[in-house]
Amino acid sequence: MKRCILPQETEPSDEALPATRNTFAVNRWRNGAAMAEIDHIAEEVPVALEYNGVSHAVMLATPADLEDFALGFSLSEGIVASPRDVYGIDVEIRPNGVAVKLEIATEAFVGLKARRRALAGRTGCGLCGTESLDEVMRVPAAVHSAASFEPALLDAAFAQLQARQALLRDTGATHAAGWLRADGTVALVREDVGRHNALDKLAGALANGNEDVSRGAVIVTSRASYEMVLKTATIGAGVLAAVSGPTALAVRLAESAGVTLAGFVRAGSFVAYAHSHRLKIS
């Protein structure tokens, strides 16, 4: 499905994608003293999503796992109903950013044009450019999930997630979204400077994989906003666990969509805001 196109180059090569991090000379102030150091900084680049040759969205994102990002964004935004509606994904390096070019089914493209939607997003901004309130307040189908987790598994899961955040360790500037299996294994991890982007990347990876979404959980290193709950419900996952708190709108959506929502997941504690029965605490 995926291919990377380089200017004046016939052979595809993922190696030409922009780096996910770069180095800068900095002055660090610590304990009353200044020190010159070299620091690693996370990159963010404009990523244009084009459907059947028409530009639809431009997001600032970390230039990694862009095929997952494009597929996950397409699914979570309702542009396509199924991965089968995406016939191909090409990644094209351009002088001012990266274009991810998707070929989608005619019916999906007709629906996309009818929505007349053109996003121009800042980092992690899932709603920038939405033209109407009706487009924002989408209601996902109710999630039917058999997921069930002991509280201790959440602690262990976030420890696994942190251990696999290579870009965060290098830069301190990225979020991550992970997929927690029923057996407590964190099977997939995706990182990005934007929390929505990280979750879209995870959604794309899940759509291309063989995970049992009815029995797993999404874990994220961010707050649980409305968009994060909406994307989790679109995946079909029954549990969203976040290290920070939710918004009131997110709690209401989790209640109506059947998503178990846990926030402030820290060592030995969390707060269950919706459908706590999947966390075996009541």
The residues annotated as belonging to the active site are 125
Q: Are 63 and 19 in contact (CB under 8 A)?
A: yes
Tokens of 157: 């899961």
Q: Measuring CA to CA, how many Å separate 222 from each of 154, 197, 270?
A: 15, 12, 14
What are φ and ψ of residue 187, in 5° steps? -85, -30
Give CA–CA dist 227/216, Å, rounded.
19
Q: How far apart are CA 246 and CA 74, in angstroms?
A: 24
Distances (CA, A) of 158 to 44, 216, 220: 25, 14, 9
Can you say whether residue 12 is alpha, beta or left, with left for phi > 0 and alpha for psi between -120 and 50 degrees?
beta
